[in-house]
Every structure is written in C-alpha cells, then in structure tokens.
Amino acid sequence: MSDKATLEVNGNKHEFPIVVGTENEVAIDVKTLRGVTGGVITIDAGYKNTGSCESAITFLDGEKGILRYRGYSIEELAEKADFLEVAYLLIFGELPTLGQLDKFHSDIKKHSVVDDDVKKILDAFPKSAHPMGVLSSLTSALTAFNPSSVNVDSEEDMYNSVVRILGKFPVLVAWTMRKKQGLPLYYGDSNLGYVENILKMMFKQPNEEQYIQNPILIDALDKLLILHADHEQNCSTSTVRIVGSSHAGLFASLSAGISALWGPLHGGANQAVLEMLEAIKEDGGDTKKYMAKAKDKTDPFRLMGFGHRVYKNFDPRARIIKKAADEVLGDLGVEDPILDIAKGLEQEALKDDYFVKRKLYPNVDFYSGIIYRAMGIPTDMFTVMFALGRLPGWIAQWREMRLRKEPIGRPRQLYIGETQRAFKTIEKR
Ligand code: ACO
C-alpha cells in the first residue's frame, strides 16, 4: 500500500502521510491540510470518521465484533481477571504481578476516605436529584478537598492521584444511592476486596449487624465493571480527554466525563432500556408494536440498547452480559418477565430487515439493567454503575493523553451564519 494519500483541491494536488496502527488500521494524517490548501478543513459532524488521537489502550473492530484491552480479549478478561487487575492493566499497560496488585489495592484503601464536608454537599441536593447529576457534582467537589494539581511529569504524583480517585469514587457512588434511599452514609470495610466493599457500602442496612456477601453478586458486579471499563474514544472518554487537554485536573475531567455518560444515547441507555422494557410490559408485552414504532421515521421512539456507532456486528460485551443475565437470575432464583421481553425483542430485531440492513445489534446496555435490577440496584443508579466501571478507562485515557503531551483539543468549524452586516441602533424610548 502507498504511504501517501493524494487529495485534489481547486486543481492542486496535495499529499498526506498514511499512518498504520498495530492492527493494520489505516488513517490519513491531515494535520497539515489547512496550511497547504489555504484554509480548507475537513468536516465530520459527530466525528463519525475522524480519529482524535493515537492510543495504545483499547482495540475494537466493529465489523468483526472484537474488543481487547491492551491486547487481551474482553472474553478472556471477563472470565479470568478481576476488576482491579483490569483497572491496573488499563491504566499502567501491563497486568500486575501479585505484589503490584496487593500494593495497588492497599494504596487505594489508604485513600478511600472522603472528607466529611462532602456529606454536607450531598445533603444539599433534593431527594429528587438524579444520581448522575449528584455523582458528577461530588466528583467535581473533590477538587476542593484535594487542591494540589497532578504533576504529570512525576510518576509518583500521577500514581497517587490514580489511587486517590479509585479509592474515593466508590464511596461517592454508594453515598449517592444511600442518600436517595434515606440510609445513613457508611465508609465500608478495608478488609474486603474492592468489589465486595462496594457492595457492602451500597447495601448494608442499619439494622444488620453483619452484611452477608453473596458470591453471585460479587462475581456479577465484577464482570459488569470489567465489561464497561473502557471502550476507546466514545463520547464520555473523548470528553475526559478534551477537558484534560486544557490541563484541567483529573477530577474535573472525570466529572465532565460523567455528565457526558449520562445521556440516553450513551451510558444513560441502560436506564432507558429498562424503562422501555417496563413500558412494553405495562402495555401488554406487544413487542411487535414497539418494533414498528422503532422503524417509523415519524415516531421519535428508538429501540434503546440497540445500535452502536462502531459495532456493525454483535457487541461482544452484549453476548457476555446476556449469558450472565441468564446465570445471575437463575442463581438468584429471580424470574423477571422483562428478560423474556428483552429476548423477544432481540429475536425479532435480528431477523427484521430494517435492523439487519442497518446492522443494528444489541449493545452492552441491552441486558445490563436486567442484572442490576436483579441485584437490587434502583433503575436511576444504573448509569452510575456504568461510571464506576468506566472509571479506570477514563483515568487510563487521561493519563495517556497527558503523557503523550497531546495538544489542546480544539476542532474547527464551517461557518454558516450571517455575513458581515451593519449594527442598527434601536430607537430608545
Ligand atoms: N432504533 C431504531 N433505529 C435506529 C436505532 C435504534 N436503536 N439506532 C440507529 N437506528 C437507525 C437510525 O434511525 C438510522 O436510520 P437511517 O439510516 O434510516 O436514518 C440508522 O439506524 C443509523 O443510525 P444513526 O443514529 O445515524 O447512528 P449513530 O452511529 O449516529 O448512533 C447510537 C448510534 C446513538 C448508539 C444509536 O444507534 C442509538 O440511538 N441507539 C439507541 C441508544 C443506545 O442504545 N445507546 C447506547 C449505545 S452503547 C453506549 O454508548 C454505551
């Protein structure tokens, strides 16, 4: 293959380098385009075809349905690794040794105390506040209690900020849920594993002397967090990178990422899926009616949990989650009619021309809410659980962006507004 791409603009030919990734993905480097073409830019709303960076963290092939973190397949990681190992892998590039993992966990535990004043901020939110808004605000509030900015040239400083946020974030997640449920806030137990501790912080009831751990729930949550841990340059991750590219701090960048994740077209889809399945059930379970609505271009309804910007094949995470949903519900002895509706919708969509032609398959969010519900997690907390899983990915991407000394993110635009016009003074009474 040629190592140059040629573009003709206004009769002039310009050459641009072709760059090839380690998985043979090909990109045209148009960095110099504007300079050589006298102001011409590329335009690509939604960045459908624009690479924003080079990254060594996550590889995904949407046509083949492949997802790998640092070269390891998602299937293998979900089966064999635990969430903290995956977090370490994503952030630092290699799987940890046992010694590194123990140190990582113990450093995280050391930093899991959240300033008591954060509770006052939490108290000020109305009960009706959506947990994602609360989580984003509390994450941003952490900057007030940890004012020193990260010196990205110091490995030690970088490491400390990573363990600090990995320690405090689950506390914020648990507090967000407990506050909404009117339960006393609680710090958890440093003798427990990372995921076990999260469950205890979320679910321990005041009248319970001891919180009894359920291995099925630990395993299910661990798997869900791993599956959500990174997904290359999606909306929230790009937000974290672009906010961080102005050299804003890690917590501020993460807070912006949480807001980006909240929307129903992104992480908020897990809540939207469950609400959709509930609505279908309430309406008599007629999946065909909702399939027709999803295909009707005059109807704003979309089949939530279906379709993906990059996957034009089965989302490999959806396959794993679907199997896990069956297992978790079976193990817990939960019979949820919503699971049957979900399976029915999937069956119909997979053989429907509209969905087949557009390559719309179930995505990661289609079945995750069913597991969260079986675990006793309220619907409006689903996207918060997604954020908990995505945290190591955001950190890894932020760290990579700063270590590579990427320039500030600043897209161009094509102006389509008024051309210059004279100001008219209004007659003042
Ligand atoms: N239901 C019905 N039709 C759909 C759906 C859907 N869920 N998704 C896409 N389509 C249709 C579009 O109407 C469009 O049809 P057209 O070509 O006739 O105009 C075509 O498929 C392409 O869709 P786009 O919206 O252009 O695709 P895009 O890549 O911009 O959007 C997205 C991807 C946002 C995920 C979209 O598929 C969607 O809205 N899905 C539902 C929400 C969802 O599940 N989001 C979670 C994504 S995974 C994640 O972020 C964690």
Atom number in ligand 1 closest to CA 308 = 35
The residue contributing the CA closest to ligand 1 atom 24 is 309
Ligand 1 lined by 365 (C-beta under 6 Å): yes
Domain match, 151 and 101 both: yes
Asked which of 50, 66, 82 is the last residue of a domain, the reply is: 66
Q: Can you read off the two tokens belonging to residue 302? A: 């979309």
CATH code of the domain containing 343 = 1.10.230.10
Write down the pLDDT at residue 150: 79
Domain match, 102 and 128 both: yes
Q: What is the Cα–Cα distance from 230 to 6, expressed in whole angstroms?
A: 35
Atom number in ligand 1 closest to CA 306 = 7
pTM: 0.94
Q: What is the Cα–Cα distance from 175 to 123, expressed in whole angstroms?
A: 10
Q: Report the percent of the chain where pLDDT is more than 90.
A: 83
The residue contributing the CA closest to ligand 1 atom 36 is 307
Region 159-175: what's the mean pLDDT?
96
Q: What is the Cα–Cα distance from 302 to 85, expressed in whole angstroms?
A: 36
DSSP class of 381: G
Atom number in ligand 1 closest to CA 231 = 51
Write down the pLDDT at residue 153: 84
Ligand 1 lined by 315 (C-beta under 6 Å): no
**Which amino acid is residue 155, in one-letter code?**
E
Domain match, 179 and 135 both: yes
Collapsing DSSP states into helix, strand and coil, what is residue 11?
coil
Domain match, 132 and 204 both: yes
Domain match, 200 and 243 both: yes
Ligand 1 lined by 294 (C-beta under 6 Å): yes
> In Å, how far are 138, 224, 299, 363, 410 from 183, measured between CA atoms?
18, 25, 41, 33, 44
Pairing of strands 72-73, 66-69: antiparallel
Atom number in ligand 1 closest to CA 315 = 48
Which position among 130, 308, 315, 380 bears the catalytic label? 308
How many independent structural domains does the chain possess? 3
Is residue 62 assigned to a domain? yes
- 283 is known as an active-site residue: no
Structure-token match 């094509």, residue found = 414
- 365 is known as an active-site residue: yes
Task: Give the Å distance between the CA of 359 and the centre of ligand 1.
Answer: 10
Domain match, 187 and 251 both: yes
**Host domain of residue 17:** 4-66
Q: Can you read off the two tokens belonging to residue 221? A: 């949550």
Domain match, 256 and 124 both: yes
Domain match, 310 and 393 both: no
The residue contributing the CA closest to ligand 1 atom 50 is 266
Is residue 320 assigned to a domain? yes
Is residue 426 assigned to a domain? no
Predicted confidence (pLDDT) per residue in 389-412, tens digit: 999 999 999 999 999 999 999 999
Q: What is the Cα–Cα distance from 421 to 406, expressed in whole angstroms?
A: 38
Q: Across the beta sheet with 58-61, what order do the strands follow?
A: 58-61, 66-69, 72-73
Task: Give the Å distance between the CA of 47 and the centre of ligand 1.
Answer: 15
Domain match, 164 and 32 both: no
Is residue 428 assigned to a domain? no
Predicted confidence (pLDDT) per residue in 267-282, tens digit: 999 999 999 999 999 9
Predicted confidence (pLDDT) per residue in 75-132, tens digit: 999 999 999 999 999 999 999 999 999 999 999 999 999 999 999 999 999 989 999 9
Domain match, 144 and 222 both: yes
The residue contributing the CA closest to ligand 1 atom 37 is 307
Domain match, 163 and 93 both: yes
Domain match, 295 and 346 both: yes
